[in-house]
Structure 1
Amino acid sequence: MNIQGKLIIIGGAVDKGSFTETDLDKNAPKNLNFFEEGILKRIIKESKNKEQSRIEVITTASKIPREIGPEYVKAFRYLGAENVDVLHIERREQASETEILDRLKSADVVMFTGGDQLRLTSILGGTPFDEILISKYRNEDFVYAGTSAGAAAASNSMIYQGSSSEALLKGEVKITSGLGLIDDVVIDTHFVQRGRIGRLFQAVVGNPKVLGIGLGEDTGLLITNGRQMEAIGSGLVILVDGREVKDTNLTQVELGQPISINHLVTHVMSNHDRFDLDTFKMTIHSSQYV
């Protein structure tokens, strides 16, 4: 399938500036690097109509939607995007309302905030909103952007629970279906700071066809054509490739027992590095061998 849209998935804690401060302009110099090269600026750049793009901020995953939504609106507007609003969907029946569906149809960008990815999928999954979202991503010059929960929910397989410290005990990582925009990957967020690599190890060893993607904070991936990935932001992206796993005790141990895995392949990406989901080849932007 030739995917027309773009995915921008972000690990969380996007450095959008300290917009809770009343002195916005006074504090802006602290964030100049972000404003020039940061992830939200990249979202605007990748959108169909740039600063004139229609952007809808979707707060469904958040427990404080009325607080977090306006912060993103301020951030986008500070970066030059004026056509931004918050789309609150807090109940499943709202995802079938004509007004909300019309706003989605008119959007060039949707920005899913953080929160609880299970809340996001349980409210939106299988609704007319979800169907239009997937259709726009597949068939239009459209950007799906998601941070934290919004990133984790983008794939077909979604991690929704699992202790970082006990992630390599059988059964500790819980996986369900996500929104289904991209297949054959599983995404984890707040990855480096919260030590979640074990969660990806267990997710991947259970089905080595799936590529594990671990997104650090203020770090993301731009995915074009559904296959080409570029690391963006200030931190790291960890990829876990299980296709060459040689052995594991996964099916032999009881629930709660440690899992052994022989020969997992990992890649570490930083800003502007690329990875091809068809060839599984990584290109380092500033390689010492070029």
Structure 2
Amino acid sequence: MSVPKGKLIIIGGAVDMNTNLGSQENIVKPDHLKFFEQGILKRIITESAKQAGSIVEVITTASQIPDLVGVEYIEAFNYLDVKHIGVLDIRKREDASNPEYLERIRKADVVMFSGGDQLRLSSIFGGTEFLQILKTRYENENFVIAGTSAGAAAASTNMIYRGQSNKALIKGEVQITAGLGFIDSVIIDTHFVQRGRIGRLLYAVASNPGMLGIGLGEDAGLLITEGTTMEAIGSGLTILVNGRKMAETNIYDVEMGSPVSIKNMRVSVMSIFDKYDLLQNQLAIKKTVKVEDGVFITAPGS
């Protein structure tokens, strides 16, 4: 398998209930509102070859409030002195074949998938020329693909698309389908710590121990380079669930609707600047981290 030349950034998302949306109190606001604090959104631009001169395309397909999401991301990137920002609100599969949209993603330096419903992403983009262009550019160019919440969950070859947290370890509750396929051998869940989704990831990994489970907290992200090296970014926590040394599970024996047992699942926690090698399955913890003016920095030589 070839080593991707592009960079993949997956982010756990954030919910802000102090909305400006009137009575729509339960709507998830655009995730950039928390990104400024520890610089996740800025890191996306820093990792782009053209940095502030980048052409950014925001894909709001997963969102139920695409107009608002698009405006908020334009304002967020403008705040970072990025001026070339477009919004692609692709609502159906035929839109993904629009020649104008295909040309825009061919010219973009950064593509950002917003939050919402990951099943919309897989069902609208799966098997399209649009998705193939993104994959080809990611494999062969210095190209950044970023996704938050649903956009992160859909980034892997396999994705979780439903499952109640409090019933996750009941056989059949967690549903998995094909994702967008930017990265193999992992499965990603988001809003992980805040919504208590450990059961969903344990179930997913128990059903396929060859996958590494990645649970992204809010304001937590991973920068993935060369398809194998993951660096934790943002102020939040990322939980890793590794089933390769799992001793036993009864997931294949019990009937649908029955509780599942798992023995010796390995769990690790990543915080900012920690790195994980997907080839070696090794976590390297950053030993020295300082905070200056509310921003995390690494100490020289640490």
TM-score by shorter chain over 0.5: yes
In structure 1, C-alpha distance between the alignment counterparts of 2:131 and 2:105, rounded to whole Å? 10
Instruction: Give the corresponding residue for 1:266.
Output: 267
For normalisation by structure 1, the TM-score amounts to: 0.92
**Residues 137-216 of structure 1 mapped to structure 2, 5 A cutoff:** 137-216=138-217
> How many pairs are equivalent?
278
In structure 2, C-alpha distance between the alignment counterparts of 1:225 and 1:256, rounded to whole Å? 40
User: Which structure 2 residue ranges, 5 or more long, are not aligned?
Assistant: 22-31, 290-301
Give 1:256 shift.
1.1
In structure 2, C-alpha distance between the alignment counterparts of 1:269 and 1:145, rounded to whole Å? 19
**Secondary structure in 1 matching 2:165:** coil
Would you say 1:252 and 2:253 are equivalent positions?
A: yes
Give 1:14 shift.
7.8
In structure 1, C-alpha distance between the alignment counterparts of 2:222 and 2:162, rounded to whole Å? 22
In structure 1, C-alpha distance between the alignment counterparts of 2:205 and 2:248, rounded to whole Å? 13
Instruction: Give the corresponding residue for 2:223.
Output: 222
Runs of 4+ aligned residues of structure 1 deviating over 6 Å after TM superposition are: none
Give 1:35 shift.
3.8
Instruction: Give the corresponding residue for 2:121.
Output: 120
Indicate how the Cα distance of structure 1 residues 32 and 197 shifts in structure 2: closer, same or farther if over 3 A, else same: closer
In structure 2, C-alpha distance between the alignment counterparts of 1:64 and 1:242, rounded to whole Å? 37
Indicate how the Cα distance of structure 1 residues 40 and 14 shifts in structure 2: closer, same or farther if over 3 A, else same: farther
Would you say 1:240 and 2:241 are equivalent positions?
A: yes
**Secondary structure in 1 matching 2:75:** helix
For normalisation by structure 2, the TM-score amounts to: 0.88
User: Which structure 1 residue ranges, 5 or more long, are not aligned?
Assistant: 22-30
**Secondary structure in 2 matching 1:165:** helix
Amino acid across the alignment from 2:70? G
Instruction: Give the corresponding residue for 2:96.
Output: 95
Amino acid across the alignment from 1:167? A
Indicate how the Cα distance of structure 1 residues 183 and 265 shifts in structure 2: closer, same or farther if over 3 A, else same: same
Instruction: Give the corresponding residue for 1:73.
Output: 74
CA contact (8 A) 1:14 1:39 kept: no
Indicate how the Cα distance of structure 1 residues 158 and 34 shifts in structure 2: closer, same or farther if over 3 A, else same: closer
Q: Deviations over 1:214-248 (max 9, x none)?
A: 00011110000000000101110000000001111
**Secondary structure in 2 matching 1:282:** strand
Indicate how the Cα distance of structure 1 residues 33 and 111 shifts in structure 2: closer, same or farther if over 3 A, else same: closer
Amino acid across the alignment from 2:232? A
**Secondary structure in 2 matching 1:213:** strand
Amino acid across the alignment from 1:250? I
**Residues 16-55 of structure 1 mapped to structure 2, 5 A cutoff:** 35=36, 37-55=38-56
Q: Deviations over 1:133-182 (max 9, x none)?
A: 11111111001100000000000001000010010111110000000010
**Secondary structure in 1 matching 2:185:** strand
**Secondary structure in 1 matching 2:166:** coil
Q: After the TM superposition, which of the residue ranges 210-219 and 6-15 deviates more from structure 2?
A: 6-15
CA RMSD of aligned residues (A): 2.0
Instruction: Provide the identity percentage.
Output: 60
**Secondary structure in 2 matching 1:121:** helix
